[in-house]
Amino acid sequence: MSIVISPSLLSADFARLAEELADIKQAGAPWVHLDIMDGLFVPNITFGPPVIRAIRKETDLFFDCHLMIAEPSRYIEDFAKAGANLITVHEEATRHISQTLTAIKSCGCKAGLSINPETPLSAVEPYLKEADLILLMSVHPGFGGQSFIDITYKIKALREMMDKAESTAYLQVDGGITADNIKTVVDAGCTCLVAGSAIFGQTDRQAAIDALMDALTKEAQ
């Protein structure tokens, strides 16, 4: 499985989202990570289906929608209709995980399951074959620009679990990813990286993505 970089729109300039999407596509990013926050599950509010629907008209990038919201199952159809390609829900916010993953897939989307830094891997272990992506948070969710929490041990352990279960899901890591730590994260078993400030916090989006890709290339040598 090739490594995917999913730039987090949370760190982008909200006044020029169409341009930001065009920039990261031109720079070679195939995905864009969309952090949906409701002010309840996390202490911040971002955007909902109307914004997703609007930017869907501007790009064909793969929409990696991360629902950091209470009762996510209530909104799956709305996000799917708005243009999501993948919908990830939090284990901590989801009552009936299997049913929710099935509901996401029935809407024509890939289904992801996420856990916060303090949540044990046992919370996702039963769903490794059901989910298309498992997301490990390496910051406490709610705000961009945070420093990476060292969860290398957790990434390695999850990689072992997934390989043992013969899971083909992506192992995604979100939070504090930079060119300095991307090698460590990929070495541990991550296959999909969310990067916000490392890309949108730089003036030159192309150079920022190139720096991450160069770090991956060096890792592979």
142 is in an annotated binding site: yes
Q: Which long-range contacts (CB under 8 A, 24 or more apart) does 102-110 make?
A: 102/130, 103/73, 103/76, 104/76, 104/80, 107/76, 107/77, 107/80, 107/81, 108/80, 109/76, 109/79, 109/80, 109/84, 109/85, 110/85, 110/86
Query: Do the Cβ atoms of 170 and 2 come closer than 8 Å?
Result: no
96 is in an annotated binding site: no
What are residue 133's DSSP bridge partners?
112, 170
Between the CA atoms of 155, 158, 162 and 168, what dihedral angle is there, to the nearest 10 degrees?
-40
145 is in an annotated binding site: yes
| Catalytic choice (35, 38, 64, 132) | 35
| Catalytic choice (23, 64, 132, 174) | 174
112 is in an annotated binding site: no
66 is in an annotated binding site: yes
35 is in an annotated binding site: yes
Determine how many CB atoms are found less than 10 A away from the CB of residue 77.
15
Q: Let me know if 35 is a catalytic residue.
A: yes
> Which helix H or strand E contains 135, and what residues bound it?
strand 133-137
189 is in an annotated binding site: no
Task: Find the length of the chain.
Answer: 221
196 is in an annotated binding site: yes
143 is in an annotated binding site: yes
83 is in an annotated binding site: no
Q: Let me know if 174 is a catalytic residue.
A: yes
Residue ranges for the binding site for substrate?
Answer: 8, 66, 142-145, 174-176, 196-197
Catalytically active residues, by annotation: 35, 174
Where is the binding site, in residues? 8, 33, 35, 66, 142-145, 174-176, 196-197
